C-alpha cells in the first residue's frame, strides 16, 4: 500500500469559470513528508465508478516558500471524472487522500534564466516556478502563455501584479486564440526564438497535447537540445498507486548488464530480463528521475549510448529523440547483453 495521507481542504478558490485552486492543509508532523520543489505534482484519490477509486495527478501551483499549505489548481476537462468531481464537490472542511509530491518538472536552480511556455491549465506548475524564482532566486523569466480567450486566463491578475513588481525579471507574452487564432509551430518558433537555441535558456513547457506538440517541434527547430527542454504532460493513470505497485512485465529472456552514468557517477548492475530500467535503478538506491511511470511524460528519459533496449510503451518521445538514442527508463527492458545509458548527456 502506498504512503498516502488524508489532507484537509482549507480553501477552494474559483480562479476562472472552469478552474479552481484547492488549498490543502499539511499537519506539522507531515511537513517534511510533503515538502516539495516548484513544478512538482500531487497524486490524489477521487471517487471512480461503482464505489471504486481513481488516482489523478494535479500540479502544485503554490511555491514551497509560500508557507506550509499546498495548493493545486484544477481545470475542468470535458468528460474528466477527476476534474469535474473536484470542481463540483469539494468544499472547505472536506478531506482528500494524497500521495507526497513528486515530479521532475523543476528547475535545478532558482538563479537561472528560463523560458516558460504554457497553455491553459499548463500554467499551474509554471506558476509554482514563477512564484519560487521571483521570491527566492535571481533568474530572469519569459513566459509565453496561450489561452482560448481573456476570460480563461488562469492567474491573470497575479501575473500582471508580478510583472509590474519585477519588470526587469518577468516578461509575460499572452496569446489569445480568440484574437490571434491557434498558435502554430511557426508562431511559437517566432516568439521563442529570441530567448533560446542550442545554448539558450532552459525551457519548461506544459499544456494540452496539440499545443505541446507544436511547441516541441518549434523548440527543436530552434535547436533546443532535449536535455534543456523540460516537458510536463498531464496523464490519467491506469494503475492505482493507492492500492498496488502494478503488474510486472514478462520475465522471458536472458539477463543483461547495464552501465549507468547519473549525476557524474558510473554504476554497473546485473539487469534481469523482465525488469524495467527505472525500477532496477531505484531498487539499487539511485535517484533516477521519474514522474508518471507510464511512458507518457518523459521525466525518466535517458540516452542509450551502447547496446539496445526495447520500450514497452512510448507516448512522448518523437522520431528525432529516438534517433538521438533517447529512451524512457520506466518502459525499457534490455535487448543486448551489455547496455550503457547516460542521464548526463
CA 111/CA 345 separation, integer angstroms: 22
Binds ligand FES by CB under 6 A, chosen from 44, 205, 328, 339: 328
Least distance from C-beta 293 to ligand FES, angstroms?
5
Q: Residue 37 is placed in which grid cell?
A: 520543489
Question: Closest approach of Cβ 216 to ligand FES, in Å?
Answer: 14
CB of 22 to ligand FES, least distance (A): 24
Q: Whole-number minimum distance, CB 294 to ligand FES, in Å? A: 6
Which of 4-7's residues contact partners 24+ apart within 8 Å by CB, and which partners? 4/45, 4/97, 4/98, 4/99, 4/100, 4/242, 5/30, 5/33, 5/34, 5/97, 5/98, 6/95, 6/96, 6/97, 6/98, 7/34, 7/70, 7/95, 7/96, 7/97, 7/98
Total chain residues near ligand FES (CB under 6 A): 13
Identify which of residues 41 and 155 has a Cβ nearer to ligand FES in the complex. Answer: 41
Q: Footprint of ligand FES on residues 282-321 (CB under 6 A)?
A: 290-293, 295-300, 316
211-240 residues near ligand FES, rule: CB under 6 A:
none
Strand 256-262 to 338-342 pairing = parallel
CB of 334 to ligand FES, least distance (A): 17
Q: Mask of contacts with ligand FES, 9-48, x by CB under 6 A?
A: ----------------------------------------
Nearest to ligand FES of 90, 316 (CB atom):
316
Residue closer to ligand FES (CB basis): 178 or 248: 248
- Could you give the C-alpha distances from 50 to 53, 80, 96, in angstroms and in order? 9, 16, 19
Q: Which residue carries 461503482 as its cell?
A: 50
**Residue 332 interacts with ligand FES (CB under 6 A): yes or no:** no
Q: Is 256 in the site for ligand FES (CB under 6 A)?
A: no
Q: How many other CB atoms are found less than 10 A from the CB of residue 50? A: 5
Residue 110 as a binder of ligand FES (CB under 6 A): the answer is no
Minimum distance, C-beta of residue 103 to ligand FES, in the bound complex (Å): 9
* 128 forms part of the interface with ligand FES (CB under 6 A): no
Report, in Å, the least distance between residue 282 CB and ligand FES: 11
Residue with smaller CB distance to ligand FES, 64 or 103: 103
Please, what is the minimum distance in Å from the beta carbon of residue 283 to ligand FES? Answer: 16
Which of 162/206 has CB closer to ligand FES?
A: 206
By C-beta, is 153 or 327 nearer to ligand FES? 327
Q: Does 103 bind ligand FES (CB under 6 A)?
A: no
What are the distances in angstroms from CA 7 to CA 1, 57, 94, 302, 324? 17, 15, 9, 35, 43
Tell me how far apart the alpha carbons of residues 80 and 120 are, in angstroms, rounded to a whole number.
Answer: 15
Interacting residues with ligand FES (CB under 6 A): 290-293, 295-300, 316, 328, 330
Amino acid at each position: 500500500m502506498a504512503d498516502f495521507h488524508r489532507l484537509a481542504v482549507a480553501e477552494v478558490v474559483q480562479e476562472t469559470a472552469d478552474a479552481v485552486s484547492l488549498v490543502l492543509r499539511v499537519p506539522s508532523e507531515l511537513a517534511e513528508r510533503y515538502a516539495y520543489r516548484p513544478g512538482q505534482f500531487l497524486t490524489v484519490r477521487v471517487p471512480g465508478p461503482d464505489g471504486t477509486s481513481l488516482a489523478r495527478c494535479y500540479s502544485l501551483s503554490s511555491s514551497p516558500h509560500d508557507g506550509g499549505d499546498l495548493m493545486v489548481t484544477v481545470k475542468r476537462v470535458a468528460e474528466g471524472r477527476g476534474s469535474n468531481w473536484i470542481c463540483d464537490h469539494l468544499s472547505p472542511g472536506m478531506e482528500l487522500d494524497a500521495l507526497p509530491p513528486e515530479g521532475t518538472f523543476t528547475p535545478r536552480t532558482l538563479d537561472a534564466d528560463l523560458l516558460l511556455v504554457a497553455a491553459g491549465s499548463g500554467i499551474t506548475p509554471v506558476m509554482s516556478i514563477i512564484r519560487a524564482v521571483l521570491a527566492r532566486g535571481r533568474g530572469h523569466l519569459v513566459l509565453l502563455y496561450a489561452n482560448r480567450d481573456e476570460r480563461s486566463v488562469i492567474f491573470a491578475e497575479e501575473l500582471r501584479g508580478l510583472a509590474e513588481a519585477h519588470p526587469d525579471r518577468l516578461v509575460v507574452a499572452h496569446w489569445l486564440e480568440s484574437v490571434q487564432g491557434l498558435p502554430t509551430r511557426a508562431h511559437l518558433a517566432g516568439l521563442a526564438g529570441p530567448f533560446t537555441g542550442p545554448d539558450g535558456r532552459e525551457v519548461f513547457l506544459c499544456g494540452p497535447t496539440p499545443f505541446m506538440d507544436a511547441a516541441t517541434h518549434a523548440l527543436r527547430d530552434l535547436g533546443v537540445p532535449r536535455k534543456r527542454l523540460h516537458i510536463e504532460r498531464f496523464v490519467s493513470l491506469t494503475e492505482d498507486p493507492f492500492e498496488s505497485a502494478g503488474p510486472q512485465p514478462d520475465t522471458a529472456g536472458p539477463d543483461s548488464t547495464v552501465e549507468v552514468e547519473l549525476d557524474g557517477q558510473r554504476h554497473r548492475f546485473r539487469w534481469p530480463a523482465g525488469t524495467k530500467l527505472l525500477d532496477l535503478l531505484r531498487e539499487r538506491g539511485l535517484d533516477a528521475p521519474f514522474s508518471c511511470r507510464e511512458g507518457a511524460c518523459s521525466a525518466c528519459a535517458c540516452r542509450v549510448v551502447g547496446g539496445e533496449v526495447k520500450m514497452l510503451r512510448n507516448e512522448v518521445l518523437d522520431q528525432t529523440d529516438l534517433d538521438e538514442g533517447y529512451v524512457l527508463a520506466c518502459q525499457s527492458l534490455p535487448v543486448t547483453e551489455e547496455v550503457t545509458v547516460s542521464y548526463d548527456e
